[in-house]
Structure 1
């Protein structure tokens, strides 16, 4: 029986990678500090602590991330459905994104939810974001109710948001 070392090496690499992401330590926040700010594309300083009292979603994305771009219509549809509930979506572009490209993407994709740019990388670091998209559902109490790395399934996300709104 011939041993396929190349196949075993690839399998070992995949298992190692999966193990890393499953067991990696998270230094991220469990509660959003009231003094945490982010700059929107429209030049406003948004204090995340001011959002306490209503649930919201903070989603870290990039203009160069295919999964992030694919997820935009899902987030836009959810934002439109949930506007009357007070639920809010804040899309945070990564520090390496170019402001002109973020604005162009917002226009091209018809993004009406709040879009911000973490130019300093402080927010990305505080939330320990390693891959895009990474999203956080934050409850009315300011605690993180869910963290998701990768794209959301539209139905699953909507159900989680409805559960979060109910409390």
Structure 2
């Protein structure tokens, strides 16, 4: 049995026609969202490219406390290929990718690569987590300052995990919102 309703002009509209219209509208909406996302990613400053001088100076001047005590200065990483990963203990994809990042650090440290984890989390939660699941790369307690740093590097939504890859010469060569893959890390390691 087919149901009908009246259109704006008073003529009956078949239910299958309505479904097709809704489907068409849904596909169009997805296309608009995908296009907006692509244009955001391709806009100047969102993808690859050099940090502007003020942004670079602010980045390399940052310092963060370490979960086990002491200080982590980003200036210590300047001039090396650097993968900065913003993460939190309460973020399942963040936790899932940490062993992958740890392996990447161990396998590529001879090539001067450095992984840096910036935890957007409570210090006690990070210390407890790293006590159970240690990593070989340095971790900084970034908190809200880390969220602002992430935004300045292109993470406008503040989502996690978020990864930024900076080449030896200071160019941002990759930004990734979401969990990384071994294939992405292999590709990035050749471009640093």
SS at match of 1:23: helix
- Across the aligned residues of Structure 1 and Structure 2, the Cα RMSD in angstroms comes to 2.6
Going from structure 1 to structure 2, the CA distance change for 1:16 and 1:69 (only over 3 Å counts) comes to farther
Q: Which residue of 2 aligns with 1:142?
A: 170
Q: Which residue of 2 aligns with 1:62?
A: 88
In structure 2, stretches of 5+ residues that fail to align are 1-15
- The structure whose Rg is larger is 2
Q: TM-score, normalised by structure 1?
A: 0.79
Alignment of 1:114-153 (within 5 A): 114-121=138-145, 122-129=148-155, 130=157, 131-153=159-181
Going from structure 1 to structure 2, the CA distance change for 1:62 and 1:27 (only over 3 Å counts) comes to farther
**Alpha-carbon shift at residue 152 of structure 1 (Å):** 1.6
SS at match of 1:144: strand
Alignment of 1:14-25 (within 5 A): 14-24=30-40
Going from structure 1 to structure 2, the CA distance change for 1:89 and 1:23 (only over 3 Å counts) comes to same
Going from structure 1 to structure 2, the CA distance change for 1:44 and 1:13 (only over 3 Å counts) comes to farther
SS at match of 2:69: coil
Contact 1:49 1:142 in 2 (8 A): no
In structure 1, stretches of 5+ residues that fail to align are none
Q: Which has the higher contact order (CA 8 A, sep 6+)?
A: 1
Render the CA deviation track for 1:118-163: whole Å, top value 9, x for unaligned.
Answer: 1232423332423211111111112211111112221331232133
Higher helix share: 2
Contact 1:134 1:150 in 2 (8 A): yes
> How many residue pairs align between the two structures?
162
Q: TM-score, normalised by structure 2?
A: 0.70
**Alpha-carbon shift at residue 9 of structure 1 (Å):** 6.5
